[in-house]
Amino acid sequence: MRSLVLTILLCLPLFAVAGVEKDRKKVLDESEKILARLYKEEPDAKGKIARAAGYATFSNVGVNVIFVSAGGGSGVVHNNKTGEKTYMKMGTAGLGIGLGVKDFRAVFIFHEADAMTKFIESGWDFSGQADAAAKSGDKGAEGSTAGTIVNGVSIYQMTENGLALQATLQGTKYWKDSKLN
């Protein structure tokens, strides 16, 4: 019995590492899907990403209920020069009029290394947002922001599915994922 307990205790770190690797793979697989879709919808983005200091991909789900909006997701920042990946989380909260659920993907293209470093280290965005999205699977229409440039960063946002009508003042916080880095 004692050797069984010792074996289990010695194997626990291996299970934790396997879980982290599985989570990293999930984020990287989602990143590949996001890029494939972006390149299909915005072919010029591929060249922009190749010439950039780096880029980030995020998957997010947001919920709007009357006067409150909230959401969360995860993603990864790719440094094109070093190949380093920084895994990140994101959370949103806001006030305004809204109702529904919105599942979207975002790609950030960092044209300068300083902008990428600042995003990784302090990644806060506070913005007004008004949009409409109505999509479920392959049905419906969608609203998206493509190629918005803010402080040397191009941002593409693609709606996945859901139904949302909103006009919110929303804050988004991005931070390093302590579990995956």
Evaluate if residue 133 carries a pLDDT over 70: no
Q: Give yes or no for a contact between 85 and 76, defined as CB atoms under 8 angstroms apart.
A: yes
The residues that bridge with 173 in the sheet, in sequence order, are 91, 124
Q: Output the six-digit token pair for 88.
A: 């990140």
Share of the chain above pLDDT 70, in %: 59
Hey, how many other C-beta atoms are within 10 angstroms of the C-beta on 4? 8
Which pLDDT value is given to residue 162? 44
77-84 mean pLDDT: 97
Helices 44-51 & 2-41 angle (0-180, nearest 10): 120
